[in-house]
Amino acid sequence: MSRPNAPLPPTAWHTIGPFFPRSFYREGDNDLTRLSADAAPTARGEHIRLRGRVLEQGGGACVNAVLEAWQADASGRFRHPLDPGWRDADPDFLGWGRAWTDGEGAYSFRTVLPGGYQDAAGPRAPHVDIAVIGSGIMRRLVTTLFFPDFAEANATDPVLRAVPEPLRPLLVARPDGEVDGLRAFRFDLVLRGAPEAETPFFVD
Amino acid sequence: MNRLDPPDLFAPYDEAGQPAVPIEGYPNTVRRNPSRPLLARPYTRTARTGPLDLAPKLQPHDNNLAVLAPGRIAIGQLIHVSGRVLDEDGRGVAGAVVELWQANAAGRYVNPLDQRDAPLDPNFIGNGRTLTDAQGRYAFVTIKPGAYPVPDSGRWWRPPHVHFSILGPSTLSRLVTQMYFPGDPLNPHDRLLNSLPDPAARARLIAAQTPPEDVDGEWLAFTWDVVLRGRHATPPAP
C-alpha cells in the first residue's frame, strides 16, 4: 500500500446547535478520575475540583455549553501511545471528562492535580486542556487551565508563553476553597468580553 | 487505525474548509465567539493525545433511533445512515465514539428548549451513540428528519440534517458537524452550510444516497464518510 500524496481534507466543523441531547450527559461524566461511572476512582494524586462559569458577550451566562477536559495523570503521563511513558500511565485515571453548564453558566469537574512533563516544545507545567462547544460556536474553542501552585513552571510553559504576557493570568485558575474536602479551583471562561477579561483561546 | 498506531502528524485546519463567523440570523455566533484572534500554540503531547477508550464511560450501544421498542416505531421515512470514520491518510479509525442526534419527521427536537409548535413523536427520542468497528465503520437506523424554521432569523429554514459528534484518537481529531441529504432544495440556502467558504467542503457534508435496488432492507440508505484531522509521519508497513 502506498501512501497517498494528497491527504483527504478533514471534514468541516459545525456547531452542536441549541439541542444537544440532555440524555447524552450522565452523572459522573464530569469526573476525570474514573474510567467509567461504576469504576473506582484513581488512588494516585491529589483529587481536586475545578469549577467556574462560562460567560458570553455582555456577561450573560452561557447555558447548555459543553466543556470537555483532557489532562495528564498525577505523574504527567497519558495513556496514549504518543506518550513515550504511556505504559506507566495511571491505569485507573481516565483523564477525560465532559461537563454541561447549568442555567447560571456554571460547570464543574472532579479530577486530580496533573503532573507536568517534558515536551519537545519545552517543559509543560501542570495544566488541563479545556474545549468548549455550544450553540453558535461553529468550531470548538480550546484553551488551557494552569494552576497557581506552579508559578515557576508556568513561567516557562511553551503554551502559556504563546499568550501575550498581560493575558497570562487569565489562564491561571484561582484557589476557591474546598468542596467535599477537596481543594477547589475557579476558572471562568469569558467567550467574548472586554479585552482584559476575554479568555485567551488557541488555534485548534 | 490500530490503537497502538494513532495519527501523529497534525496541521492547523485549512480555513477555507471551515465555517466563517458571524452568521446572519444566528446571534450566538457573535455572542459566543472571541473578539480577539485565536492564538497560535505549539501542539504538545496534551493536544496530540486523547482518550483512547471512552466506551466504558460513554456506553456507545445504541444505534437504532427508529425502533424504540418492539412495535414502537417512529413516524417518518425509515433510513439507514452508514459510513466510515477515516483519518487524513484514509485509514479507518477504529473505536471512535460516534454520537448522533436529530429532529423528528416534523422538524422538532425532543429537547425542552425546542418550543416550536410542531408535534412530538412518542416513539422517537432522536439520539444515539455507537462505536466504529475495526475498519472505522459506523451505522445508524433512524428516520429522515424534517426541516424547520430558525426562530427570529428572517425566514431561514434548516434543511433536514443529522448532527454528529465524533471522539477519535486525539483531542486534535475531535469533530462536531452536521450531515445533509442530497438534492434537498433547502441546502443551497442554508446559512450554516454556506458559512463554509470552499464549495467542496460544503459538498463533503452532503451524504450520498444508495440506489434503492442495492439496499437490502425496507429503508432508504445513505452513506457518509467523515475525515478526522491527523496523519501518520511514517507510512503503514507493507
Contact criterion met (CB below 8 Å) for B13 and B196: no
Contact criterion met (CB below 8 Å) for A40 and B201: no
B80 is an active site residue: no
High-pLDDT (> 90) share of chain B, %: 94
Which of B49, B116, B196 to probe the A interface (max A CBs under 10 A)?
B49
Q: Please, what is the average pLDDT of chain B?
A: 95
Q: Which domain holds residue B183?
A: 15-227
- What number of CA atoms fall less than 13 Å from residue A164's CA on the CB side? 12
Omega cis (within 30) before B22: yes
**pLDDT, position B90:** 95
Q: What confidence category does residue B4 fall into, taking pLDDT thresholds of 50, 70 and 90?
A: confident
Could you tell me if residue B134 is inside a domain? yes
B148 is an active site residue: yes
Amino acid type, A170: L
Chain A: give the shortest CA distance to residue B19, in Å.
6
Q: Which of B148, B191, B202, B229 is catalytic?
A: B148
Domains of chain A and any CATH numbers: 22-190 (2.60.130.10)
**pLDDT, position A1:** 41
Contact A16/B at CB under 8 A: yes
Handedness of CA B32, B37, B40, B41 (dihedral sign): negative
Cell 458570553 found at: A56
Does residue B42 register a pLDDT over 80?
Answer: yes
Could you tell me if residue B60 is inside a domain? yes
Shortest CA distance to A93 belongs to which of A57, A38, A40? A40
B109 is an active site residue: yes
Calpha distance A1→B83 (Å, rounded): 22
* Stretch B216-235: mean pLDDT: 93
pLDDT, tens digit (0-9, with 9 covering 90-100), for B129-140: 999 999 999 999
Could you tell me if residue B95 is inside a domain? yes
Does residue A4 register a pLDDT over 60?
Answer: no
Q: Which residues from chain B sit within 8 angstroms of residue A189, using beta carbons?
A: none
Calpha distance B192→B159 (Å, rounded): 10
Contact B89/A at CB under 8 A: yes
Secondary structure (H, E, C), A64-120: CCEEEEEECCCCCCCCCCCCCCHHHCCCCCCCEEEEECCCCCEEEEEEECCCCEEEC
* Stretch A78-101: mean pLDDT: 97
Q: What confidence category does residue A2 fall into, taking pLDDT thresholds of 50, 70 and 90?
A: very low
Least confident stretch, A1-5, A45-49, A133-137: A1-5
Least confident stretch, A9-13, A19-23, A141-145, A171-175: A19-23
Shortest CA distance to B9 belongs to which of A10, A42, A186? A10
Q: What confidence category does residue B187 fall into, taking pLDDT thresholds of 50, 70 and 90?
A: very high
Contact A5/B at CB under 8 A: no
Phi-psi map region of A198: left, alpha, beta (phi>0 left; psi -120 to 50 alpha):
beta
Calpha distance B121→B15 (Å, rounded): 39
How many structural domains are present in chain B? 1
Cell 515557576 found at: A152
Could you tell me if residue B125 is inside a domain? yes
The CB density around residue A146, as the number of other CB atoms within 10 Å, is 24
What is the count of residue pairs from A and B with beta carbons less than 8 Å apart?
253
Q: Which residues from chain A sit within 8 angstroms of residue B58, using beta carbons?
A: 29
Query: B58: part of which helix (H) or strand (E)?
Result: helix B55-58
B14–A9 CB contact, under 8 Å: yes
Q: Is B231 helix (H, G, I), strand (E, B) or coil?
A: strand
Calpha distance A170→A116 (Å, rounded): 20
Q: Which residues from chain B sit within 8 angstroms of residue A75, using beta carbons?
A: none
Phi-psi map region of A35: left, alpha, beta (phi>0 left; psi -120 to 50 alpha):
alpha
Could you tell me if residue B1 is inside a domain? no
**pLDDT, position B234:** 79
Interacting residues of B189 by C-beta distance below 8 A, sequence separation 6+: B156, B157, B159
pTM attached to this predicted model: 0.97
Could you tell me if residue B105 is inside a domain? yes
Contact criterion met (CB below 8 Å) for B192 and B25: no
pLDDT, tens digit (0-9, with 9 covering 90-100), for A30-82: 999 999 999 999 999 999 999 999 999 999 999 999 999 999 999 999 999 99
* Stretch A165-182: mean pLDDT: 97
A71–B46 CB contact, under 8 Å: yes
CATH number, domain containing residue B119? 2.60.130.10
Q: Which residues from chain B sit within 8 angstroms of residue A8, using beta carbons?
A: 86, 88-90, 227
Which of B10, B15, B57 to probe the A interface (max A CBs under 10 A)?
B57
Which of A3, A19, A163 to probe the B interface (max B CBs under 10 A)?
A19
* Stretch A154-161: mean pLDDT: 98
B52–A95 CB contact, under 8 Å: no
**pLDDT, position B236:** 62
pLDDT, tens digit (0-9, with 9 covering 90-100), for B138-179: 999 999 999 999 999 999 999 999 999 999 999 999 999 999
Contact A155/B at CB under 8 A: no
Contact B9/A at CB under 8 A: no
Does residue B216 register a pLDDT over 70?
Answer: yes
Contact B233/A at CB under 8 A: no
Residue environment code for A175-189, b if the CB has 16+ CB neighbours within 10 A, otherwise e: eeeeeeeebbbebbb
Could you tell me if residue B4 is inside a domain? no
Interacting residues of A71 by C-beta distance below 8 A, sequence separation 6+: A32, A95, A111, A114, A127, A128, A129, B46
Q: What confidence category does residue B238 fall into, taking pLDDT thresholds of 50, 70 and 90?
A: low
Could you tell me if residue B6 is inside a domain? no
Whether complex ipTM tops 0.90:
yes
Sequence-ordered strand ranges (E) for A15-65: 47-55
Does residue B65 register a pLDDT over 50?
Answer: yes
